[in-house]
Amino acid sequence: MVFVQNVVIGESPLRWQDVVAVARHGAVLELSPQAWARIDNAQAIVQRIVVSGERAYGVNTGLGALCNVSLQDEQLSQLSRNTLLSHACGVGKPLTDEQTRAIICAAVVNFSQGKSGLHRRVVEALLAFLNLGITPQVPSQGSVGYLTHMAHIGVGLLGVGMVSYRGQVVPASQALAEAHLQPLQVGAKDGLCLVNGTPCMTGLSCLALDDAQRLSQWADVIGAMSFEALRGQIDAFDPQIIALKPHPGMQRVGENLRALLAGSEVIDSSRGIRTQDALSIRSIPQVHGAARDQLAHAARQIETELNSATDNPLLLGTPEDYRVVSQANPHGQSVAFAADLLAIAVAEIGAIAERRLDRLINPQVSGLPAFLVSQPGVNSGMMIVQYVAAALCAENRQLAQPAVVDNYVTSGLQEDHLSMGTNASLKLHRALENCTQILAIEYLLAAQAFEFLKVQGFGVGTTAAWQLMRLHVPPYDQDRWLAPDIATSAAILKDAALLSRTFPNLL
């Protein structure tokens, strides 16, 4: 069980881990008095604009290509409501609850900058949804970077559409009634604020960072097991050699591998059996380390975006002395680049893992029984799981193609360059799931290989990993239904608490 404290938006920047705490672990999200004051100040500017009649995009004009159509009086509230209803046109399977919660959390962080201008009650409604567990059903497809996903969240606040609540999918109106909440009444600029900005791609990417960080650690553990099972030559991980290429990620991976393999009799007795190992074995620090460096870069980009004001227009100053600035902060190019780059890194972690696991089942290079089973022939052993890993790697190569370079024209030539950042974030999630399954297969195979080598002692860390697997999956003595074993292995890799308990010193 993960215990988390409340997350308070105040003066300090939020971390991507804070979004994960709210979205994935149920931390309560709160705003400090200073954050509420910023929101109220921006709303007061909106009210000053409404009274003055000054033209301001999205406050008293139409949207997109309709930006030159002036509106007034009751039309302003109607515009906000219509914006949510008309923009809630996504398609496809709904996002998971934690994905939608991450988007809502990122949206609240954006609004807390005090540059948006929406009413306080809108933010209060979003916080109520988060903290009471009311989660709109948001179709996963249809965003060019913003608009549709947040619109589906917005209509849920109105009492329209379906939501997840208390373990069931129910009409939003029913959930509001059961939670003793009133449907939201939106005013000037509320609708535009709710659909604008980059919280969709940013929230999704925060969750992806959590998964990628955990997988990068597991990749070192499982890679060390395969290295040991294949009797790798430990000189490739010599600290003096690793230090000659001082990429930060590579240094951490080198330290992890040496710690995991410490005390291994298998490694000690294998010194000199070959001049050098295949690259998939000896280049673990270089490949895993490079992926970690891309993860660190992506985290900086995503966290910067999380703490940015990403609406259009933005409201600066005070009601007595203000500026309304139309600009392009809702363009999510930075997050799109980061998600695409991370998808490439994740694909490479899976690719090198597939090459390692293929060597484990091949007796021509492993020195182990064919397909890691005692009686190959009557038993197929671990033959076909490598096919599965290869298929997942092929899919990840496709997912590694950048979304950000795709471009489409929308809104009557008004929005003619788009980041596609939400697509980038969503395909990153799919790549991470594929990589999880690939590493789960390698973990199964490496643990099975240990069964044929256990007359000698393994490393302190690899022994812990082997024992952990055996608590959940027995050795593979003869052919059996393998799909449940893969699912169990993947579940181990998704358990962050299990990772930290088993490997408390892992970098």
Which of the residues 57, 165, 443, 476 is marked catalytic?
57
The DSSP bridge pattern shows strands 7-9 and 29-31 to be: parallel
Residue linked to tokens 């590694």? 400
Q: Are the C-beta atoms of residues 254 and 289 closer than 8 Å to each other?
A: yes
| C-alpha closest to that of 349 among 276, 293, 278, 424 | 293
Q: Is 57 a catalytic residue?
A: yes
The DSSP bridge pattern shows strands 162-165 and 314-318 to be: unpaired
Concatenated DSSP letters of 306-373: HTS---SSEEEEETTEEEEE---TT--HHHHHHHHHHHHHHHHHHHHHHHHHHHHH-HHHH-S-GGG-
Longest dimension (CA), the chain: 85
| C-alpha closest to that of 357 among 440, 424, 432, 451 | 440
Q: Are the C-beta atoms of residues 306 and 16 closer than 8 Å to each other?
A: yes
Q: What is the helix (H) or strand (E) element at residue 125, kind and residue range?
A: helix 120-132
Q: Which amino acid would we find at residue 262? A: A
Is omega for the bond preceding 248 within 30 degrees of 0, making it cis? no
Distance in angstroms (rounded) separating the CA atoms of residues 89 and 95: 14
Query: Residue 3: helix, strand or coil by DSSP?
Result: coil
Query: Residue 31: helix, strand or coil by DSSP?
Result: strand
| C-alpha closest to that of 95 among 23, 29, 4 | 23
Burial of 239 (0-12, 13-18, 19+ CB in 10 A): exposed
Q: Are the C-beta atoms of residues 312 and 196 closer than 8 Å to each other?
A: yes
Q: Are the C-beta atoms of residues 232 and 277 closer than 8 Å to each other?
A: yes
CA angle 19, 249, 239 (to 5 degrees): 145
Catalytic residues: 57
